Amino acid sequence: MARHTFRVWRGDANGGQLSDYEVEVNEGEVVLDVLHRLQATQTPDLAVRWNCKAGKCGSCSMEINGKPKLACMTRMSTFADGETVTVTPLRTFPVIRDLVTDVSFNFQKLREMPAFAPPPGLKPGEYRMQQVDVERSQEFRKCIECFLCQNVCHVIRDHEENKPAFSGPRLFIRAAELDMHPLDARTDRKEFAKEEQGLGYCNITKCCTEVCPEHIKITDNAIIPMKERVVDNRYDPLVWLGRKIFRRDQMPGYLGGPTQERLPVSEIVADRAGANSPYGDDITFPLPTESLTYEHTKED
């Protein structure tokens, strides 16, 4: 058992201040436990947003001793005995009350991000993807949307005026996830990242990676690869020359252009007559019925 002073920001959009509370801390507790103890014993109306308390939902994002963190994953044992712990709301977003902020900026940006485009011609159950091809995107799908990366990013943290033009790291990993998705049918993800999401604003100072509670390598595995992909079709002189010479709709990276990588477009150069089978070339029809395991239910 140890005693700590908790300095908690109390207030709302009209102003507020840091208030001090003396609390008992038991072995093995995290910051969120202490905030709950404050609620139960000293100040029942202390506003804290939380949910799973296991680092899986990303609700209890706040700043602890100035660092963006999940309160449920910050162990009290990381502080020196008797150390004052300062807890403040996320700075980048408008405050609602106490430690709760209005994170709707992020949901707005998420809504502007074009969704996964299912490949035409493939029905549910016919998707075939190799594990090595989905692994990169799977890393980004670990994201719990705690928005700590969005909060720490100085592009909007220190420059409110950049908010309309800049989507933030959470959205860059979404862009990378979809651009690397083996079956996503859209080809304009790179254009979108550059033009609409403001990928160029990022100066790769890596704070997003530093604060990510899921340890997603946001900068190395998403932002830089996306920057490189933009370079592929924006700043590569060979591509630029190609644009001048060939028709635009045949270039990779153009919306509506060819979607499959390295597949001969024309039947003349393809190694078989007709188009490539969407089911994969190793399947012949009809399939043996005894291996089918699914039955359609009758409409009720």
Partner 1 sequence: MTTTSAEPAAARPALGRRAAISAKHLRTDRWWVEPVYTVVGLSAWLIWGLVHTLLIRDYYFIEGPGYHYLTPFFSPCVNVECPPDSALLGRWAPSWVLPYAILSLPLLLLFRLTCYYYRRAYYRSYWLSPPACAVPDGHAKYTGETRFPLIMQNLHRYAFYAAVLVSIINTIDAVRSFWGTEGFGFGLGNILLVGNVVLLWAYTISCHSCRHIVGGRLKHFSRHPVRYRAWTFISRLNTRHKELAWITLGTLALVDIYILAIAAGWFSDPRFFN
Partner 2 sequence: MTDNTQTSAASPAPRAQETVERHRYDVLVIGAGGAGLRAAIEARLAGKRTAIISKSLFGKAHTVMAEGGAAAAMGNVNPNDNWMVHFRDTMRGGKFLNNYRMAELHAKEAPERVWELETYGALFDRTKDGKISQRNFGGHEYPRLAHVGDRTGLELIRTLQQKIVSLQQEDKAELGDYEARVRVFAECTITDLLVTDGRIAGAIGYYRESGKIVLFEAPAIVLATGGVGKAYKVTSNSWEYTGDGHALALRAGATLINMEFLQFHPTGMVWPPSVRGILVTESVRGDGGVLRNTEGKRFMFDYVPDVFRSQYAETEEEADRWYTDPDNNRRPPELLPRDEVARAINAEVKAGRGTPAGGVYLDVSSRLPAEVILKKLPSMYHQFKELADVDITKQPMEVGPTCHYIMGGVEVDADTAATMVPGLFAAGEVSGGMHGSNRLGGNSLSDLLVFGKRAGEHAAKYVDSLSERPAVRPTDVQAAIGTILAPLTRAEGENPYAVWHELQDVMQSLVGIIRRKHELEEAIKRLEELRPRVASVKATGGRRFNPGWHLALDLRNMIVVSECVARAALEREESRGGHTREDFPTMDPKWRRLNLVCSLVGDQVTLTPKPVPKMPRELLALFDKAELKKYLTPEELAELDEPSESTGGAEAGRSN
220-259 positions binding partner 2, by CB under 8 A: none
- Binding of partner 1 by 185 (CB under 8 A): no
CA 283 to chain centre: 36
Helical (H) or strand (E) element with 248: none
**Which is nearer to partner 1, 57 or 96 (by Cβ)?**
96
Query: Min. distance of Cβ 258 from partner 2 in angstroms?
Result: 21
> Which residue, among 60, 63, 64, 100, has the nearest Cα to 84 in the 3D structure?
64
**Which is nearer to partner 1, 46 or 180 (by Cβ)?**
180
Q: Output DSSP code: residue 75.
A: B
> Which residue, among 204, 219, 212, 87, has the nearest Cα to 147 in the 3D structure?
212
Binding-site size for partner 1 (CB under 8 A) equals 66
- Binding of partner 1 by 120 (CB under 8 A): no
Q: Output DSSP code: residue 140.
A: H
Between CA 90 and CA 99 the distance in angstroms is 8
Are the C-beta atoms of residues 35 and 87 closer than 8 Å to each other?
Answer: yes
Query: Min. distance of Cβ 180 from partner 1 in angstroms?
Result: 7
Q: Output DSSP code: residue 294.
A: -
- Binding of partner 1 by 178 (CB under 8 A): no
Which position among 65, 186, 191, 196 is part of the footprint of partner 1 (CB under 8 A)?
65
**Which is nearer to partner 1, 143 or 197 (by Cβ)?**
197
Contacts with 117 (C-beta within 8 Å, 6 or more apart), sequence order: 184, 185, 186
- Binding of partner 2 by 67 (CB under 8 A): no
Binding residues vs partner 1 (CB under 8 A): 9, 11, 13, 15-16, 18, 63, 65-68, 86, 88-89, 91-96, 101-102, 104-105, 107-108, 111, 130, 132-133, 152, 154-155, 157-159, 162-163, 180, 182, 198, 200-207, 210-211, 219-220, 224-225, 227-232, 234-236, 261-262
